[in-house]
Structure 1
């Protein structure tokens, strides 16, 4: 059965009560006769909307759904035709007067619990629903499908619905479909891999499921970095769209060591994910450096040469006596040593790891004359950049500085032949 927006609302329309001497063949007939299934639907609707689902038989020859403020005192009050039953149903609201969200939610739940089809195709189940109800629907739909041995195929753009499905405990596979510039992709995230993602506290804290509904992702070290680069991207999209990154989610990983923890699984899903890190990422040798290269899908055969180059660059900074982050980054070196450092940064950029050439976040937009570090730098910078796009003092994109840097990130993300995404 295919349940689009109209058909799932139609499921709550009155249905024939049929011959009670014959086996049931319609959903309401099944629910009217099966106390356990009716009680399960009632529980779900009560949890979702605070009203009690009841089957009203008082329109002779038809069953209809009502939403009651209280549960029936006994089975006879709901299923009978005597005066008490008539008054009970008269006091309950016909479901036709409820919102489309209530009607669609109820239609889906009744079908999966009492319906006959073993395969359900549902288009945008979150339509008409508040995010919390979309989560509830995903949770209950998955549990009900598991208990009734049904298979459900859902097309959705709701991370909260997907989260509800996962937390139900039912096995869930995700197929992520993309299409850009004539190139279509399909990636499968099996249930076992999905559980592995959701068990990682860092990934859960970033709202990793939201990533599935974006085309591109940029991972930064801190929330300060994330806020700044996201604002730069917003201004590029408005005033210099050829350098801005469309449909992009910016995430932060707490620190540089954990950037690769977020980047690796997203790339394995086929999601183009770039990393932006300060230049002191080069200080990390051994396992941290190897993990970064591995998460970037840089061929293992090149790891030794990159490790040797990294060591040489670090020796050059040490010999210079300058702080690689605070004293200008690449510009702190001269001649062949600067060129070697640039070559290393370019090698990383080819695989979507972008090192700030000036050393750190605070090296950008120096013309604004803002000092400080971290949040103490970010807030004055945002104030200096201005809020009103129509104001002459509003900082618009230029052709260099951070604008060109983020433009290079866009170039990698938009390239269908980009390096660093597993086949």
Structure 2
């Protein structure tokens, strides 16, 4: 931990402030001041460090400034009550500090709250009996110790800057959410700055739901390229105000190398299963570390794709071919979510109009009559060119119609969820049996393989150029 004790810090503050307050216009003094501030006002809470905070500590001389956070908390009834509230909400037990081992302070969790501050802080018979019935925190889980240690330091600690590494470690997802919320609220109330390294969407959602402004920096390292992208608090707030984005778990996408967004849950389940089989039996075509989520329909896919790409996440869209019917704003939204340049959009709008018109003239149901394969040669070539250009920007249109056009050889019937259940039955479950469907050339296997090519390409199109390489 990078922090001095309370007496040392107080003395140094007095001396340095006296010397520097009139000299901060000098660059060298500013640099010295920053180094001093970071050394004595910053605390690193890694996994081991935060559990150590709950270990027994010296009570010290109560007539002198406290020498540690537990001693400071023991003297402050208001802050101790706040820690007790947070811990009780998390574990259903009451945080108390036991001073009955004279000269030492120990953290315990009690099934009942102390009747008053004297019962907790005293050393008389009633206090001894009360603490003897409470559980030693050393006997509880690592999660309980880590959670309590973070809260203890956040509420009672002196450092104004805390760096927390993987706060979700040892915690159940619901506790990660609660910790994120409490950290945000408490830090804001005490004007502390918190820097957190996390892989938990639950923790992030807790921070967001607290209402406290937070910034997210997403770091990636792929194919020897390191990047960093900032999602400022105002943009994050816009995302979380959208019920669709909240319900689809878009925040989970922060922790994946790629996200695939489909029209419906049936689409999501099918394409995810196809990808799983590719990863197992034809891994060069499968998409690794990928999250599949679904919108409500093709008209709302763009609402999920765009914000993910703004974070630098390669989010691909899979839609049925009847997206070509969608002119006007829906088509513009679709192209815009793929960050297709405006100049290129003009030509794609014109091509879409002509192809859609041809389907109507020939009285072809583009979803159920074979998609672009049912068009005459010239129009088919134009449609293939359109879909190829869309694929370059991570917008994937089912060429032969809709979800149910895949794996026709299995002869599954029905539509939507009914078709999904039947196709899964026909695909089989046991790879050792003959009826188990494994990846082949063509069909949906190559379709997912083409998405893999886009998501894994460093030079892929469709990601806004705001990513900054880490220095």
- TM-score normalised to the size of structure 1? 0.99
**Alignment partners' CA distance in 1, 2:213 and 2:328:** 38
Matched, 1:336 2:368: no
**Runs ≥4 in structure 1, deviation > 3 angstroms?**
none
Show the counterpart of 1:264: 306
Matched, 1:388 2:430: yes
**Alignment partners' CA distance in 1, 2:344 and 2:251:** 33
- TM-superposition CA deviations, 1:309-350 (whole Å, max 9, x none): 111111211222211111000111121111011111111111
Matched, 1:352 2:409: no
**Alignment partners' CA distance in 1, 2:134 and 2:302:** 56
1:283 maps to which of 305, 321, 325? 325
**Alignment partners' CA distance in 2, 1:90 and 1:184:** 53
Show the counterpart of 1:133: 175
1:351 shift after superposition: 0.7
**Alignment partners' CA distance in 1, 2:318 and 2:227:** 25
Show the counterpart of 2:222: 180
Show the counterpart of 2:101: 59
Matched, 1:371 2:413: yes
Show the counterpart of 1:313: 355
Show the counterpart of 1:74: 116
**Alignment partners' CA distance in 1, 2:177 and 2:245:** 19
1:369 shift after superposition: 1.1
Show the counterpart of 1:8: 50
Unpaired runs of at least 5, structure 2: 1-42, 466-471
2:153 maps to which of 94, 102, 111? 111
SS at 2:195 equivalent = strand
- TM-superposition CA deviations, 1:1-36 (whole Å, max 9, x none): 111111111111111111111122311211111110
**Alignment partners' CA distance in 1, 2:188 and 2:346:** 49
2:257 maps to which of 215, 219, 223? 215
1:294 shift after superposition: 1.2
**Alignment partners' CA distance in 1, 2:345 and 2:88:** 58
**Alignment partners' CA distance in 1, 2:360 and 2:128:** 88
**Alignment partners' CA distance in 1, 2:357 and 2:115:** 81
SS at 1:311 equivalent = helix
**Alignment partners' CA distance in 1, 2:408 and 2:214:** 49
Show the counterpart of 2:208: 166
1:237 maps to which of 273, 279, 285? 279
**Alignment partners' CA distance in 1, 2:124 and 2:423:** 74
Alignment of 1:292-303 (within 5 A): 292-303=334-345
**Alignment partners' CA distance in 1, 2:349 and 2:47:** 56
Matched, 1:408 2:450: yes
2:184 maps to which of 133, 142, 147? 142
SS at 1:20 equivalent = coil
**Alignment partners' CA distance in 2, 1:348 and 1:35:** 63
**Alignment partners' CA distance in 1, 2:108 and 2:349:** 69
SS at 2:425 equivalent = helix
RMSD over equivalenced CA pairs, Å: 0.8
SS at 1:212 equivalent = helix
**Alignment partners' CA distance in 1, 2:110 and 2:185:** 25
Matched, 1:90 2:132: yes
SS at 2:372 equivalent = helix
SS at 1:29 equivalent = helix
User: Aligned residue pairs: how many?
Assistant: 423
- TM-superposition CA deviations, 1:221-270 (whole Å, max 9, x none): 11111100000000000000010000001111110100111111111111
- TM-superposition CA deviations, 1:291-312 (whole Å, max 9, x none): 1111111110122211111111
